[in-house]
Amino acid sequence: MELFQDSTAFAFVIIPVLVFLARILDVSIGTLRIIFVAKGLKGLAALLGFFEALIWLVAVAQVMQNLNSWQTYIAFALGFAAGNYVGVFLEERIALGNLLIRIITRQEADELVRVLWDEGYGVTSVDAQGEAGPVKVIFSVVKRKKLGKIISIIKKYNPKAFYTIEDMRYVTGSYLPPVIKRTLLPQLAFGKRK
């Protein structure tokens, strides 16, 4: 309790800690906001933008009120760095959206295609011609949360396959398995994506 009553300790310890935490929060929110903008979730991005700006303003106000505290400057910068890390970590955990996986292989790919179908993935397989001869090109659109599983299947059944992964903003069609909404995230999007 004495720490809160001592104005020197408050200015040189408590304020920098609060600025550090505020920056982690506002930069993390900003990272997610940018991702939601890219995904077309306008309403959610706007809501996050409001809180990001508000928290940033509070943090900057504290820095401006404590110009004689170098600790506050350091806390501001460290909070920014940590906020980027936390934002990317959160984005990876949320794993929002769909991916296009393109697999190119010279080996026979029938077993890989069959296993992907058996696991419930939509797969399109095409014969193609590469620089070194005939190849098989396999396309699949998957939820980002399923990426690890599909990569392990590719490595198990066709370890020498070349594959690329592309982020997709919008998918139309009916093959993707239905997703049970378990969070408020879709409701906060305020409408359909465009």
Q: Domain coordinates of the chain in residue numbers?
A: 2-94, 98-168
End-to-end CA distance of the chain: 53
Q: Is pLDDT larger for residue 5 or for residue 169?
A: 169
Q: What is the pLDDT of residue 176?
A: 52
Interval 69-112: pLDDT, tens: 899 999 999 999 999 999 999 988 888 888 999 999 988 888 99
162-177: average pLDDT = 78
121-144: average pLDDT = 91
Nearest to 96 by CA among 165, 178, 36, 181: 36
CA dihedral 125, 94, 38, 84 (to 10 degrees): -130
Mean pLDDT for all residues in the chain: 86
3-state secondary structure 10-79: HHHHHHHHHHHHHHHHHHHHHHHHHHHHHCCCHHHHHHHHHHHHHHHHHHHHHHHHCCCCHHHHHHHHHH
CATH class of 98-168: alpha beta
Rounded Cα distance, 127 and 84, in Å: 43
Strand, helix or coil for residue 143: strand
Asked if 36 contacts 44 with a C-beta cutoff of 8 angstroms, the reply is yes
Asked if 165 contacts 120 with a C-beta cutoff of 8 angstroms, the reply is no
Is the confidence at residue 178, as pLDDT, over 60? no
Strand, helix or coil for residue 92: helix
Rounded Cα distance, 10 and 16, in Å: 9
Is the confidence at residue 169, as pLDDT, over 80? no
